[in-house]
Amino acid sequence: MKNKLIVTSLILLLVPFFSVAQEGTKTDKPNIIVIVADDMGWGDSSTYGNKVIKTPNLDKLAKQGVKFTQGYSAAGVCSPSRSAILTGRTPYRNGVWRHLSGADPAPAHLRKSEITYPKLFQEAGYETGHFGKWHLLSRYQFKNEKFPHPDDHGYDYWFATQNNAFPNHRNPINFVRNGKPVGKLEGYSAPLVADEAISWLNTKRDPTKPFLMSVWFHEPHAPIKTDIKFSELYPNETAKNKAYFGNVTQMDFALGEIMKTLDSQGVADNTLVVFTSDNGPVERFGGNTGGLRGNKRDDFEGGIRVPFVMRWPGYIIANTQSNIPVIGTDIFTTLLSIGHLDVPQDRTIDGVNLLPAIQGKELTRTIPLFWRTHVSPAESRVAVRDGDWKIVADETLTKFMLFNVETDANEAHDLAATMPKKLKFMKSLLIKTWKNISAEGPHHWWEDKVKGELGKDSKYIY
């Protein structure tokens, strides 16, 4: 009931959005930008209550659209959550079940058989570009043309790194543009990524076509390097905090440059912008969960609750807020709905259309919010949320914690012992959901944990 009351006031305000969309105006072909920060926690911005970190451009974005206070990544680590955004499918279902940072040739990557929203929009006549981190192949696979790169997943143009900017955010040397190494760049990662995206918008794309962009910043993921003009905004902080807080502001600056470009090109009013993060923060580097339990890798709230903002002037009412739970997989289904494209029917899609939530309505899910993070602490390896309730399980699915996260967002009060009926229901839901997901995904990838040559699993490589 609380969810409905908080956002019910939006319903009448948003009637123009839906009536215009149905009349077949310019909203039939809106431009789309999905921006993903890296390791940015729920408490790492002034937008979400941080009293020190300056994020004026994210603040502005939220004031121009809707801010979700219970937005989630689909996993507590980078690669799986990113695969879920692109496919609308939870990570173990789409095959990117693990963190893809190593040089080993372990058989995990975003398969060519997965259907991504950039591919569907490309087929519908959109110009598409990816800018920044990719992280859906291991280092070994990123150098191997047999494996699917961004262009295989629907991007006409791409400027990316396999994982982090190397050696750090300053003067990175590992960017690749459309399959060709770029070499050393001068500057800092987020502004460099924004500059490339802006260059594409200004001079490389076909201006007669609608565009779709993914902008996946590296900041504030470690190893952190921050331009002094941003770190010096925090003169009273420790060296660690100066670097981290300034790094978030560095990313926010890059966000602002992209938003200015939309204004200068006159396309802002017909461009949907989504901003989120791939997972929670790392507190030892300076990250902030906003008081939530856990960190990156956890399936407690601190590892998976992230900033989640949507802006579309004239169609999403400005300065609104929703506490309806939403997740990265929902981006896929929502974008297809906005673009009037069909959701694939030959596979399970876990995400749902968020437009009803923007109207102030409850979302109807046939598949609950689910997390399984392979590198999480053993006690918080798997989780499911249903309504206000969340169950957290260990790696063996034999030990469980139960929380009402609507009233206890910090997960301080385990109710497993005092609510046996609710615990029984949530255990059943968790196990049923996991069995469904693992049966559809390439389960041999995580069950066998193959360490040898890729040829042993050759029929699944692509």
What is the spatial distance between Cα 85 and Cα 105, in angstroms, rounded to a whole number?
Answer: 24
- Domains of the chain and CATH, by start: 2-358 (3.40.720.10), 369-460 (3.30.1120.10)
**Is 202 in contact with 196 (CB distance < 8 Å)?**
no
* Residue 9, pLDDT score: 38
In 282-414, alpha helices (H): 301-304, 329-338, 355-358
Under the banding of pLDDT at 50, 70 and 90, the label for residue 11 is: very low
What is the spatial distance between Cα 82 and Cα 97, in angstroms, rounded to a whole number?
Answer: 11
* Residue 453, pLDDT score: 36
Inform me whether the pLDDT recorded for 107 exceeds 80. Answer: no
Of 269, 285, 277, 265, nearest in space to 307 by CA: 277
pLDDT (tens digit per residue) in 290-332: 999 999 999 999 999 999 999 999 889 999 999 999 999 999 9
Catalytic sites, residue numbers: 78, 135
**Is 349 in contact with 436 (CB distance < 8 Å)?**
no
Inform me whether the pLDDT recorded for 8 exceeds 60. Answer: no
Under the banding of pLDDT at 50, 70 and 90, the label for residue 444 is: confident
pLDDT (tens digit per residue) in 241-280: 999 999 999 999 999 999 999 999 999 999 999 999 999 9
Highest mean pLDDT among 5-14, 100-109, 359-368: 359-368
Structure tokens, 302: 């601190």
